[in-house]
Amino acid sequence: MHVRVRKNKSGSTSIFVVACKRFPGKKNPQPLVVKSFGSSSDPAKIMVLHDAAKKYASNTKFSPFLRINNADDIKECKVKNVGFEQFYGKIFDRFFGKIDLGFGSNDFQIMKQLTLMRIARPVSKLRTSGLAPTFNCNDLSSNKIYKFMDKLTDINIEKIKKHIFNNTNKLLGNNKLRVLFYDLTTIYFENNNISELKHLGFSKDGKSQHVQISLAFIVTKFGLPIGYEIFAGNIYEGKTLIPILTKLRTNYGINDVTIIADSAMFSNFNLTELTAHKFNYIVSARIKNLNGNLRKIILDPTDYKNLNDDIKHKTVKVGDKYIVLCHSNERAKKDAYEREKTIVRLEKFLGKSARDTMRGALKKPYIKLSKASTVELDVQKLQQATQFDGYFGFYTNTETEAQTVIEHYRGLWQVEQTFRITKHNLAIRPVYHYQDRRIAAHFAICFLALALLRTTEYLLAQAGHAVSSEKLHCLLEQIKSVQIINKNQKFYIIADPPNEIHQIYQALNIPKLQIFTAKNLDL
């Protein structure tokens, strides 16, 4: 493109930006006016217009004009969603584009597009291959997907995990991983073939009739993933903590960290092993299950100190660990409210015979049988439960201030949210694969998609744009491109994107959406 200056008969001067284009049947290129900057007779104003035109010509890439005279001029017209591919594709290239798996560019492109499709449309791999072209992911035939998954060996999966760990470490600042959150869930399968990984076991999804595996996550206080492991579906969750932590230390050199976990991880074996391996921990304590002496200490009002207007606390040493005991007035109200709701549900069973209620009511709390074999409330259990309203506690192996213990434990919601994102946003379940190697590849792809999502959320939060993934995806759904083939050229026209998306692009330093682009075709 270049600037053209034209003298008018009126004496004024017009300024244009002009580009040349070859038309079919024409021997020489024909000039086309790209943009007019106006006219003037004032030399100073002409100079301003000329400078503006020159700047425009140097900063703008010329796209040929789309001229449609009749319907026959259009050979093809398609609509695609390009929001996910453009937005997440740029972030993927920036943070995960250098994972060294020894793949060729084609296989790496398949991995990238599978990750993007897991975010855009988390469905089966077969369904993914059908939907991919509508999301501008054109390399995902079902045959290519399954061949790629077979290439994703255990060694390559470990490389992906290590890259994600390094990415998290870099985002937070090297060697600042001080508090990590651990939890485990179960993932069920549609098929019931038992294998080395797939077994029947206790299902947290209420799908005990299905074979399952156990999936463990470790994340930071910002929800950024550190690592994951999959275990056989029949393993007890309390036996998963030490192996994954030991592996993280061996592979990544994680030291001097505090592990936060819920009460399901509590066992004398786990706590002893954590201390032996020099891991600090904060684990929720089941107050009502403590021994008699500790229960008396909990209810003894002496030595409690006020943490704030709501919470008071005291710390007691028990053997080689500490238990931080707390009481919250707000929690006491909630406990009382929940108990009252339970009693209301039990009232329909009161006075009935044991035979009528044997299947359900007798398993409920606060219920006992009278001498006449009728159901009645257990007043003693109710009184015991009332005593502990508002009390909660934590085990730790370091003498840490109660406020720090409470604040750290409250961050456990991050790993719970990670499971929610994985199960619902990324639809990691149910799993349709039969072979263990493809199951492992499926989880690796989902973990990469999770890392991409959480990295994006973290970057947006750091930039002052706390946008949820759900809202962001609603915006990206609106970014659609109309692809038109007109004679020997292909044109891309993006429908007006939502205004909010421009701020998000700017916050993450993603190039502004180009509304109109074109390229020549060899037809």
Residue 26: pLDDT above 70?
A: no
Average pLDDT over residues 388-401: 90
**Sheet of strand 2-7, all strands in order from the earlier edge strand to the far edge:** 2-7, 13-21, 30-40
When pLDDT is cut at 50, 70 and 90, the band that residue 279 belongs to is confident
The per-residue pLDDT for range 315-345, each reduced to its tens digit, is 999 888 899 999 999 999 999 998 888 888 7
378 vs 501: which has the higher pLDDT: 501
Neighbours of 121 (CB within 10 A): 18
Neighbours of 138 (CB within 10 A): 12
For 177, phi then psi, to 5°, come to -85, 90
Predicted local confidence at residue 523, as pLDDT: 37
Helix, strand and coil content of the chain, in percent to the nearest 5, comes to 45, 25, 30
Predicted local confidence at residue 522, as pLDDT: 47
Predicted local confidence at residue 164, as pLDDT: 94
Write the single-letter amino acid at 219: V
Does residue 46 sit in helix, strand or coil? helix
When pLDDT is cut at 50, 70 and 90, the band that residue 64 belongs to is low
H helix runs in 253-311, sequence order: 268-276, 292-299
Closest CA to 118 of 508, 418, 423, 415: 423
Residue 157: pLDDT above 80?
A: yes
The per-residue pLDDT for range 416-435, each reduced to its tens digit, is 888 888 888 888 887 888 88
Cα–Cα distance measured from residue 233 to residue 196, given in angstroms and rounded to the nearest whole number: 9
| Per-domain boundaries in the chain | 2-62, 286-399
The per-residue pLDDT for range 444-471, each reduced to its tens digit, is 999 999 999 999 999 999 998 888 888 9
- What residues contact 243, with CB distance under 8 A and at least 6 apart? 229
Mean pLDDT for all residues in the chain: 84
Cα angle 270-276-278, degrees, rounded to a multiple of 5: 105
Which residue is associated with the tokens 């993927």? 92
Predicted local confidence at residue 489, as pLDDT: 73
Predicted local confidence at residue 62, as pLDDT: 54
Residue 359: pLDDT above 70?
A: no
Cα–Cα distance measured from residue 247 to residue 259, given in angstroms and rounded to the nearest whole number: 14
The per-residue pLDDT for range 236-255, each reduced to its tens digit, is 887 888 888 888 888 888 87
